[in-house]
Amino acid sequence: MTQPWTVGVEQEFLLVDPESRRPAACAAEVARHAGDLLDVQRELTPYQIEVATPVCHTSAELAEQVLLGRTHLADAARAASCRLLAAGVPPVGTAGPPPGSSDDPRYRLVEHSHRRLLGGQGVCGLHVHVGVPDRDTAVRVSNALRPWLPTLLALSANSPVEQAADTGYASWRSIVWSRWPVGGPPPHLDSAEHYDHLVRTLLQTEVVLDVNMVYWDVRPSSHVPTVEVRVADIPQTAHEVVVIAELVRAFTRTAGTAAESPERVDDVLLRAAYWRAARDGVDGLGADPRTGRLLPARDLAAELVAYCADALRDAGSLEAVEDHLEWLRANGSGAARQRRAFGASPDARDLVDLLLAETVADGRARLPWTTHRTGGVR
């Protein structure tokens, strides 16, 4: 990814048993069935699998690749006698630690270093990569995005139910993930050199074992000119994946070319806004870390869209993103939809079945970027 403002995503999924609906430790077999057609990777636990899109230049290309990744992995999961699930945490059972002794040397090393912290860390997110001109631009974008990270988290929240119980949080994944010593919002950075210095120090102190364990929700790449945004839960639907990715890409372009310096927000207020977003999602109130005020989270989302409206319009995505905000008002976030399904049935397995269907549904009716089978872009 060498061109500015290109985009790619990594989607993390759970693998579940079709009978019990509990996480199934079959990532190795799913990866084998998936083959080399797409960029498929195993994750921290054997209950998870990941697929990455190639570098995409247009919204339509990204939408096609997101759908392709889901359908391809779903087919591979079926071949491995399990199912592909798009949820931030497993609604039934738990994903981790792996049964017995893991044969993954890196996992054993992390387990030795971070110990019981690994319990329940089989959680799934969405990572968005955007091409930027250079690493200093990536740092500039990271600083500018900090106050908006809670809003992106609220928009994507899709993990309210764990072990067949409502956690009380819209994004329980983000609470679980915050246990890592280097996770959550990144610090305000002075430069790419400042970022590199922090990472070197973290490695020297063995707080992280390698650069891949720098789990901040925004981070510049160490080897290519990109910025990675990792704050989101994995959304239920392909449509929601593309909306989040297009928002991140548009923000990156807007902030990366802005004349003014990014606004600095207080770390304490930012952490507080994270917690509020994780608890209430986009359907409740959000804390604005710039002011400390409580506002409807949807109003903050609308402000975020307005900030990068020109870049969204240039990408042909503004109408679709605005339509999605209206759709959320009527239908609720992923977390709200999970709760409705969970409340409608005493059996959490019914919720899993809904999520399984949403994961692989043909989203073309709700993906205005995708191509008709007869050609042409909607």
Q: Which domains, ranges and CATH numbers included, belong to the chain?
A: 7-366 (3.30.590.20)
- Residue 100 is predicted with a pLDDT of 52
**How far is the CA of 67 from the CAs of 333, 343, 361, in angstroms?**
20, 29, 9
> d(Cα 139, Cα 349) in Å, to the nearest integer?
43
With tokens 């109130």, the residue in question is: 285
Q: What is the pLDDT of residue 375?
A: 32
Half-sphere exposure of 319 (CA within 13 A, CB side): 6
Q: Which of 179, 185, 211 is nearest to 198 (CA)?
A: 211
pTM for this prediction: 0.92
pLDDT at 228 over 90: yes
**Angle of helix 238-256 relative to helix 135-145, nearest 10 degrees?**
110
Check if the beta carbon of residue 129 is closer than 8 Å to that of residue 226. Answer: yes
Residues 20-31 have pLDDT tens digits of 999 999 999 999
Q: What is the pLDDT of residues 88-97, one digit of tens each?
A: 999 998 876 6
pLDDT tens per residue, range 326-352: 999 999 999 999 999 998 887 889 999
pLDDT of residue 104: 67
Q: What are phi and psi of 83, to 5 degrees?
A: -135, 155
* pLDDT of 376 over the 50 cut: no
